[in-house]
């Protein structure tokens, strides 16, 4: 299945408390469980006003369905085509 980066515009995301983030994570996990094998949440990065979620999904529509079910925006969905890291440089 393809891997995606999902950008979510969430004003004040970086100011959410650990308890609030736990609630958001629970909502996301419940939606993943309901959707079964069509989607897998790997992790998310939280910045001031956005989150960037890394997910594996059957397709872009599965990402949109997950967003609807957990009540989070999916501002931009980008399919990961390749991955590079320092080892890619061969140094």
Task: Say if residues 69 and 84 touch (Cβ distance below 8 Å).
Answer: no
Going residue by residue through the chain (91 aa), what tens digit of pLDDT does each one get?
Answer: 999 999 999 999 999 999 999 999 999 999 999 998 899 999 999 999 999 999 999 999 999 999 999 999 999 999 999 999 999 998 7
Judged by DSSP in three states, 19 sits in helix
Let me know if residue 57 belongs to a domain: yes
How far apart, in whole angstroms, are the C-alpha atoms of residue 6 and residue 77?
5
The total domain count for the chain is: 1
CATH number at residue 42: 3.30.70.3090
Residue of 27, 16, 14, 33 whose CA lies nearest to 71: 27
Rounded-to-integer distance, Cα 31 and Cα 39, Å: 9
User: What residues make up the domain containing 26?
Assistant: 3-83
Asked whether residue 29 is assigned to any structural domain, the reply reads yes
């Amino acid at each position: 299945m393809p891997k995606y980066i999902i950008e979510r515009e969430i004003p004040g995301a970086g100011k959410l408390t650990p308890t609030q983030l736990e609630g958001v994570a629970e909502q996301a996990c419940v939606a993943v469980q309901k959707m079964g094998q069509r989607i897998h949440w790997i992790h998310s990065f939280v910045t001031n006003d956005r989150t960037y979620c890394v997910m594996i999904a059957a397709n872009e529509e599965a990402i949109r369905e997950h967003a609807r079910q957990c009540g989070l925006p999916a501002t931009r969905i980008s399919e990961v085509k390749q991955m590079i890291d320092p080892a890619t440089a061969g140094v």
